[in-house]
Chains A and B, each alone.
Chain A
Amino acid sequence: MNINGIELKKIRENLWEIPQTNGMRVPGRIYISREMLESTLSEDEALKQVMNVAHLPGIEKYSLAMPDIHWGYGFPIGGVAATNLDEGVISPGGVGYDINCGVRLAITSLTQEEVQPKLESLINRLFQNIPTGVGASGAIRKLSKADLKKILEKGSVWAVENDLGTQNDIQFTEESGTLKNADFSVVSERALERGADQAGTLGSGNHFLEVDIIKEIYDEKVAQVFGLFINQVVIQIHTGSRGLGYQVCDDYLKVLLKASEKYGFRLPDKQLACAPIKSQEGQDYLAAMQSAANFAWNNRQVIMHLAKKSFLDTFNMKESDLGFRLVYDVCHNIAKIEKHRIGNEIKKVCVHRKGATRAFPPGSEMIPEKYRSVGQPVLIPGDMGRYSYVAVGTEKAMEETFGSSCHGAGRNLSRHKAMKEAKGRDLVSELKKKGIIIQAKGYKTIAEEMPAAYKDVADVVDVMHKEGITKKVAKLKPIGVIKG
């Protein structure tokens, strides 16, 4: 098949290969259905970006893309690439501006019937307690430089030490909420200034906090291990490292543009600026990126604490009765040093996941003991009017995708087109008729983020399910949303 002048070879029903051509060090591989390939990738540059990523020095096996692939900067969104630690590089283009943007899912013991009578006041309280919108700030006291230093080093452990979470929360966060080689000293003053007042804030754009119910369960055994049951009220939080992360990316793009020249890399896109992982520039970016990742985990932890408090206050309940528990927190914009099988060898590689979620299998030592019999929860949010999914990682993901899966639906309409579609409509009422209450800073965000602006996440999740990369566990339906 030929899409946008790029030849694709069908490997399996939902797996396509771009053969290795000029300058590519490995082939490209895209997990996607024929229908999605033709309908979503014919007009953008995402496939070209899969080819561009294949130029990175030290890339192993394939330049990969998940079914929610779309046009990004450097890497496509949905892109995954592993580089070896000997000659391989690290690139901010494989992580993105919103370092450790991610999702967490927390459960309650409440059912929809118990929450429905007070749903509106719950959403209002969540909106009041959790700052949203452009430059949102002030969720907790303004942080001193010493506090920021600790957050950058400790991640969500800082929140727990400051009574904004529990030990359980740490246990159920990817990497236990802390990447250990973070280094405050390589993060710029400007980045710290952008982060100083933003811990515990959602921000704007596609970030959200959603109150959902479990609508459907596909795998009873796994759902039980994760603590999920039909009609249960749960929350999802989607945000990242806010201004601090954006600034770290900015700062190091400049550093790595120079480094790319210094090391003589010929790259097809400036946004793929990179440095050898072993080099000083590479190590500095890795440490700064890990610091921003820790900031993001702390951010989601603080937001979750504020959400729990909102539930307790709204329903006038004791904590022991609410049954509030973090199921898991995953990042989907990150580069991490992990062990993977390359040929006959187990090698340490730097796995870049840009809009892709880690999906480790049963038995992995990297996931909480409680989940080792079934695998890692993979959280895949959809749009605010339809549904989201919980899936679980598999051994096949380890064999084929460096333990990675999709991360969401991906946009279908530009913001401009969405605004045009929304003109003359009352989206708040439309959502209310569907049983969804929304609170947002302004109507513009609601219009830009309207359900029709996104692809159907079910199509994305089904590709991963059919290919055996992740298996579906449960479907979530939103009943309340707060946005920036």
Chain B
Amino acid sequence: MSSNYKILSHTADIAAEIEADSLEELFREAFNFWLNSVAEIETFDFEDEIEINLKADSLEQLLVDFLNEVNFLLIVKNILCVEIKNLKIDTEKKLLHTSLNVQNLKDISLLKEEIKSVTYHQMEIRNKKDKYQVKVVFDI
């Protein structure tokens, strides 16, 4: 899986600067950053599909909620979301709809990291010259 984000140096946690051509792509890349942080990609094997629908007060909140949602599914339900099939964002109403391929894990104790949460630290979605950018920091 190619990664269009840059891992930033962070003493205690994990951070990345993400850039994409569209808002949807930005969310996809943020998802890939999460996925590569928690699991080894070689182990992926699709078994099922789930849908996620979210509403938030801001686009930043929508991104935090989306990443926290896939993280919750992993930590509590042992469901690893491995691929975004489709993703739509309504920027006016701050709505997200996505369907994802998932793998049901028997044991999550050997995953790479336990992400406590996605933080709001320095999170601001910027749109400059047709490029979307955001910094994402995971507390681990």
| A interface with B by C-beta (< 8 Å) | 44, 70-71, 73-74, 77, 97-98, 132-136, 190, 193-194, 203-205, 243, 246-247, 249-250, 253-254, 257-258, 269-271, 273, 411-416, 441-442, 444, 484
Is there contact, CB below 8 Å, between B12 and A411? Answer: yes
Closest chain A residue to B65 by CB distance?
A254
Within 8 A of A (CB), among B51-92: 57, 60-61, 68, 72, 74-76, 78
Contact among B11, B74, B114 for A70, CB-based, below 8 A: B11
Which residues on the B side are within 8 Å of A247 (C-beta)? Answer: 72
The complex places the Cα of A132 from the Cα of B114 at a distance, in Å, of 11
A-B pairs with beta carbons under 8 Å apart, 8 shown: A132-B109, A134-B113, A135-B74, A135-B78, A254-B61, A411-B12, A415-B14, A416-B7
- Picked from A77, A205, A270, the residue with its CB within 8 Å of the CB of B120 is A270
* Extra contacts besides A190-B72, A271-B119, A411-B12 (11): CB < 8 Å: A74-B121, A133-B110, A135-B109, A193-B76, A194-B76, A249-B117, A250-B68, A270-B121, A271-B121, A413-B11, A444-B112
Which of the residues B114, B117, B137, B140 comes within 8 Å of A250, measured between beta carbons?
B117
B111 touches A246 (CB 8 A): no
A68 to chain B minimum Cβ distance, whole angstroms, is 12
Contacts of B61 in A (CB 8 A): 254, 257
Which one of A71, A97, A271, A441 lies within 8 Å of B116 (CB-CB)?
Answer: A97
Contact A136–B109 (Cβ < 8 Å): yes
Cβ contacts under 8 Å, A270 to chain B:
60, 120-121, 123
* Chain B interfacial positions (CB closer than 8 Å to A): 7, 9-12, 14, 57, 60-61, 68, 72, 74-76, 78, 108-114, 116-117, 119-121, 123, 137, 139-140
**Cα distance, A475 to B77, chains bound together (Å):** 42
**Chain A contacts of B119 at CB under 8 A?**
73, 271
Kindly state the separation between the CA atoms of A135 and B12 in the bound complex, as whole angstroms. 19
Is A258 within 8 A of B57, CB to CB?
A: yes
Measured between beta carbons, the chain A residues less than 8 angstroms from B68 are 250
* Those 6 A-B pairs whose CB atoms lie nearest each other, nearest first: A133-B109, A134-B114, A270-B120, A246-B116, A135-B108, A97-B116
Question: B57–A203 contact, CB under 8 A?
Answer: no
CB distance from B29 to the nearest CB of A (A): 19
Complex alpha-carbon distance, A246 and B7, angstroms: 23
Complex contact B139–A442 (CB within 8 A): no
**How many Å lie between the Cα of A243 and that of B78 in the bound state?**
14
Contact B120 A204 (CB under 8 A): no
Complex: A70 Cα to B11 Cα, angstroms: 9
Assembly CA distance A204 to B13 (angstroms): 13
Given A204-B114, A271-B120, CB of A135 within 8 Å of CB of B7: no
- Measured between beta carbons, the chain A residues less than 8 angstroms from B57 are 257-258
Nearest Cβ on chain B to A188's Cβ, whole angstroms:
11
Q: Is the CB of B76 within 8 A of A243?
A: yes
Interface-centre pick from B78, B114, B139 (highest chain A CB count, 10 A): B114
Max count, chain A CB within 10 A of own CB: residue among B7, B61, B76 = B76
Interface contact A135-B114, CB-CB below 8 Å: yes
- A71 and B125 CA atoms in complex are apart in Å by 22
* Chain A contacts for B123, CB-based, 8 A: 270
CA distance A22 to B109 in the complex (A): 47
Residue of A nearest to B120 (CB): A270
Contact call A44/B11, Cβ cutoff below 8 A: yes
Instruction: Write the nearest CB–CB distance from B95 to chain A, whole angstroms.
Output: 16
Chain A residues, CB < 8 A from B76: 190, 193-194, 243
In the bound complex, CA of A428 to CA of B78 (Å): 30
Q: Which of B108, B110, B116, B137 contacts A98 (CB 8 A)?
A: B116
- Do B120 and A253 touch (CB < 8 A)? yes
With A134-B108, A194-B75 known to touch, is A73 a contact of B114 (CB < 8 Å)?
A: no
What residues of A have a CB within 8 angstroms of the CB of B9 in the complex?
414, 416
Contact A97 B121 (CB under 8 A): no
Out of B12, B14, B78, name the residue touching A77 (CB < 8 Å): B12
Please determine whether B120 and A97 come into contact, CB atoms closer than 8 angstroms: no
Which residues of B sit under 8 angstroms from A194, Cβ to Cβ?
72, 75-76
Chain B min CB distance to A228 (Å): 31
Beyond A246-B116, A253-B120, whether A414 also contacts B10 by CB under 8 A is yes
Q: Chain A residues near B14: list those with CB within 8 A.
A: 415
How many angstroms between the C-alpha atoms of A411 and B121 in the bound complex? Answer: 19
B72 contacts which chain A residues (CB < 8 A)?
A: 190, 194, 247
Nearest CB to that of A132 among chain B residues? Answer: B109
A70, A73, A413 interface centre (most CB from chain B within 10 Å): A73
Q: Which of A70, A135, A193, A205 contacts B140 (CB 8 A)?
A: A205
Q: How long is the Cα–Cα vector from A250 to B66 in the complex, in angstroms?
A: 13
CB distance from A67 to the nearest CB of B (A): 16
Chain B residues, Cβ within 8 Å of A415: 12, 14, 140
Bound CA span A134–B108, Å? 6
Q: Which residue of A lies closest to B111 (CB)?
A: A134
CA of A215 to CA of B116, assembled, Å: 35
Residues of A within 8 A of B10 (CB): 71, 414
- Which chain A positions have C-beta within 8 A of B120? 73, 253, 257, 270-271, 273
Q: What residue in chain B is nearest A70 (Cβ atoms)?
A: B11
Cα distance A204–B112 in the bound complex, in angstroms = 10
Complex alpha-carbon distance, A175 and B119, angstroms? 29
Closest to B124 in A: A270
CB neighbours of A442 from chain B (8 A)? 110
CB distance from A38 to the nearest CB of B (A): 16
Asked, given contacts A271-B121, A414-B11, whether A97 binds B109 with beta carbons under 8 Å apart, the answer is no
